[in-house]
Amino acid sequence: MQKLCGVAFILTLVVVVLGAWTRLTDAGLGCPDWPGCYGFNYVPATPGEHALAAERFPDAPLEVTKARNEMIHRYAAGTLGLTILLMAVGSLRRAHRHYRAPAWLLLAMVTGQATLGMLTVTLNLLPFVVMGHLLGGFSILALLFWLLCRGQRSAQRHSLDRSLAPWFWAALLALVVQIALGGWTAANYAAMACTELPVCQGDWVGQWQWSAFHPHGMPAETYQYGVLSQAERATIHAAHRLWAMVTVVLLLVLAWRLLRQPGLRNWGVMLAIMVMVQLMLGVANVVLHLPLWVAVAHNGGAAVLLLILTGTGTRLWRGREAKWHEASYCPPTGPWSGGITSR
């Protein structure tokens, strides 16, 4: 079960990155139907298949590259769904009963993700659905990582400062809000609404539009390439940058406090480094006008920050429960370091 959990975690990470790639290459509607592509279970390749695709969807001309990106994402997501289904079935065994609740929760979450994936296509990239799809993928990733951390142990346990808990929860909440704002920025094609630093060009305060955060937005036949006004997109972009400042401060304060804890120092180092990397990637997105690899890396960096906080939280609470719970817990050296012994 632990190995299966590891496979599911790697697949989820791949799916999250592929989802960012699909969105940033404007391939979210590369296939106008779901779960197939122009009525096929694969990307149409022959001239005859191209003609049939044009006949079936005359208003959605086939673009092979975009369709390929979309179908690769769907294949990976389908493989992940089957893997989590195996975990849920395997958890029915008595020996794996401690995996039962999280495994079935994961199955419910991945089913919900499939539904959101379908709605992303059928509702033509409705921003609220696109953002929900992103947050669902991140949630599955964090839960799988939590399961992996629970299946690892370290040779030494440390008593941890209870005052860390409020800082941890504040940093986690700030990061989740920032990820949601990033998803809303991408879903509304607002990444380049501001091309100057540190905030936005012009009188962005005077042009602030709260309507930019309406969950339904402006009704449209399709939301591809965005339907909001420039002022609304600038509002979304500015909000993402402003909240980023709050998030950076809270994450760095948490990292500094972790560095003072013997059992959490390496987590603090990883957190501080990743915060600075993510900040530089955000700046590079603006300065370099959103190059694809930088934008994908920025999306992946948000996932890594969430994983670091998940591992930190697991280690923090396992340290507090060590007196009465014999289960293994996440090592203070982190999941990417040596010295990890499987349960």
The residues annotated with a catalytic role in the active site are 70
Closest CA to 222 of 187, 186, 182: 187
Distance from C-alpha of 204 to C-alpha of 7, rounded to nearest angstrom: 45
Q: What are phi and psi of 341, to 5 degrees?
A: -115, 125
Closest CA to 223 of 130, 125, 133: 125
Contact 103, 119 (CB under 8 A): no
Question: How far is C-alpha 1 from the geometric centre of its chain's CA atoms?
Answer: 24
C-alpha dist (Å) from residue 320 to 37, 143, 255, 266, 326: 50, 20, 19, 18, 12
Residue 119 per-residue DSSP state:
H
List, in sequence order, every residue forming a beta bridge with 153; answer none if it has no partner: 341
C-alpha dist (Å) from residue 130 to 11, 199, 312, 335: 20, 25, 28, 30
Closest CA to 116 of 103, 104, 131, 106: 131
